[in-house]
């Protein structure tokens, strides 16, 4: 918004916000607003707060502005703390707090409780990806090709990698670098996940010239 007002449209004379908290998420935002007012000759109109400021504003209005900036910051801090407490409550109850990963869908049950269940089609895609890669006969790029061939889906190599290392599929949630078990139906078994991780680690260490061979033979030179 600041770039729009100052650089792209200098003819704009005022910035209108519903309240102070909408344009001062951080203290440096308040500094940016002061720069607009003092250096760029823009007016600040805060509707809810009934406050109008420009470069000539002094005295009580400035004190009122500074107080509302402080209160807005404290309010946001409380929201963040409440959100973190809510997140920890759900995690400790083995429930995920964000959008479900590919392979699952978020639903609302009859009792209005939010839940996560496997998506019949997407879960099958995930399961096949793990099966293909665990065979040792496919690189991630080749798994990407198989997904396109069999399911007519276009995944990037990065997305394939993200799916093949997501512990959620066998029952583990990762939040803020910590692991929590979840109560949702797994798509794959833990041993299949571990096998895929071992093959991925080995694939990164060795250069395989030929693909499509059983894993036990990969890495051998074919004379």
Q: Per the domain annotation, does 222 fall within a domain?
A: no
- Asked if 114 and 202 sit in the same domain, the reply is yes
- Asked if 124 and 197 sit in the same domain, the reply is yes
Residues 28-85 have pLDDT tens digits of 888 889 899 999 999 999 999 899 999 999 888 899 888 888 888 888 888 888 888 8
Question: What confidence score (pLDDT) does residue 207 get?
Answer: 45
Question: What confidence score (pLDDT) does residue 214 get?
Answer: 55
Question: What confidence score (pLDDT) does residue 166 get?
Answer: 97
Q: Give the confidence band of 124 by pLDDT, cuts at 50, 70, 90.
A: very high
Of 96, 218, 102, 98, the closest CA to residue 160 belongs to 102
| Element containing residue 216 per DSSP (H, E) | none
- Asked if 88 and 121 sit in the same domain, the reply is no
- Asked if 74 and 113 sit in the same domain, the reply is no
Residues 159-216 have pLDDT tens digits of 999 999 999 999 999 998 999 999 999 999 999 999 999 999 886 555 444 455 555 5
Q: How far apart are CA 20 and CA 124, in angstroms?
A: 49
Domain region containing 212: 104-217
Question: What confidence score (pLDDT) does residue 134 get?
Answer: 95
Residue 140 sits in a domain of what CATH number? 3.90.1750.20
Which stretches within the chain are classed as H helix?
2-3, 27-38, 60-92, 120-134, 140-151, 157-163, 190-205
Return mean pLDDT, the chain: 87
Domain boundary among 36, 60, 92: 92
């Amino acid at each position: 918004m600041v770039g729009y007002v100052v650089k792209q449209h200098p003819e704009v004379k005022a910035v209108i916000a519903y309240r102070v908290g909408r344009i001062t998420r951080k203290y440096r935002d308040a500094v940016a607003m002061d720069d607009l007012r003092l250096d760029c000759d823009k007016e600040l109109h805060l509707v809810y707060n009934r406050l109008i400021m420009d470069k000539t504003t002094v005295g009580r209005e400035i004190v009122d502005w500074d107080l509302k900036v402080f209160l807005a910051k404290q309010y946001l801090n409380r929201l963040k703390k409440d959100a973190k407490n809510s997140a920890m409550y759900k995690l400790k109850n083995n429930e995920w707090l964000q959008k479900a990963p590919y392979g699952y869908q978020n639903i609302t049950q009859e009792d209005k409780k939010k839940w996560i269940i496997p998506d019949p089609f997407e879960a099958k895609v995930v399961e096949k990806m793990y099966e293909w890669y665990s065979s040792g006969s496919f690189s991630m790029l080749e798994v990407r090709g198989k997904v396109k061939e069999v399911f007519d889906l276009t995944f990037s190599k990065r997305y394939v990698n993200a799916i093949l290392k997501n512990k959620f599929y066998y029952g583990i949630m990762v939040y803020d670098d910590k692991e929590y078990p979840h109560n949702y139906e797994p798509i794959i078994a833990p041993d299949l996940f571990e096998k895929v991780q071992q093959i991925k680690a080995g694939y990164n260490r060795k250069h395989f010239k030929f693909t499509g061979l059983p894993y036990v033979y990969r890495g051998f030179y074919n004379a």
